[in-house]
Structure 1
Amino acid sequence: MSKVCPFVPTRDMVTSVAFYRALGFAVVHQDHTVAIMDHEGATILIQPHYVEDWASNWMAQLRVDDLDDWWKRTDGLSATYPSIMLKPPAMQPWGIRVGFLSDPAGVLWHVLEG
């Protein structure tokens, strides 16, 4: 079995770790160089490096079992993290229902069922 475990940029490790924990990711390991986080087998590595052009063009897709149930985790997030973007799940022109959100560093996530 192969897995892709992408490195995710951050402006602030504490803020990013808290954000991903609010979305249901668990901290597997954290030190000053990396935070390894897991969401039901989907692993990301948050690194304390930030380049605006890279972060604002970095995208990832998270597939979940129940999109509507998972999306409830975003309730109240914009009050805590005012810089994030949230677009609730909607059918896209390519025929898949997707919710979009950005993290505090500007990383764009596509969240869908499947």
Structure 2
Amino acid sequence: MNFETVEIKAFVPARDFALSKAFYTDLGFEVAYSSDDLAYLKAGECSFLLQAFYVKEHAENFMMHMLVTDVDAWWQRVEASALAEKYGVRALPPEDRPWAIRDFVITDPTGVLWRIGTNIDRAPEDAR
């Protein structure tokens, strides 16, 4: 028997499908496939499916977490492209978290919360 896994993808909701695709392209994802109601987006080895589906309670409680090698470079892209202003979304700059990740927070136009971060060394006093 072989229980090796290959991939797992989330289906991310989009209230305005075209607007969300544009947001994710500006964020740094490429659209590898798209139909009228589904898009396959990827950045490096990370990917997800964007769907033309929206339920407010679902979307506003949906969260994605992506680890990257250089969180500050990703944040610079967010700032340089003025994503927060362009799409009217919330974006908070990177911080070192007590759980040994440096990350920033950004919401997409639908209200999906993203945490994009890099693993960092845990401080000795936090290693308990």
Establish whether TM, by shorter chain, passes 0.5. Answer: yes
State which of 31, 35, 48 in structure 2 corresponds to 1:31: 35
Q: Cα deviation per residue 1:71-105 (whole Å; 9 max; x = unaligned)?
A: 111111112111x1101100123232111111000
Unaligned segments of structure 2, at least 5 residues: 120-128
Q: Which moved more, 1:87-96 or 1:27-36?
A: 87-96
The TM-score with structure 1 as length reference comes to: 0.93
Give the secondary structure class of the aligned counterpart of 1:32. Answer: coil
C-alpha root-mean-square deviation of aligned residues, in Å? 1.1
Q: Aligned residue pairs: how many?
A: 113
Deviation beyond 6 Å, 4+ runs, structure 1: none
Structure showing greater Rg: 2
Give the secondary structure class of the aligned counterpart of 1:22. Answer: helix
Unaligned segments of structure 1, at least 5 residues: none
The TM-score with structure 2 as length reference comes to: 0.83
Number of the residue aligned with 2:97:
92
Give the alignment of 1:1-114 within 5 angstroms. 1-75=5-79, 76-82=82-88, 84-114=89-119
Identity fraction in percent: 36
Q: Cα deviation per residue 1:3-29 (whole Å; 9 max; x = unaligned)?
A: 211110011111000000001100111
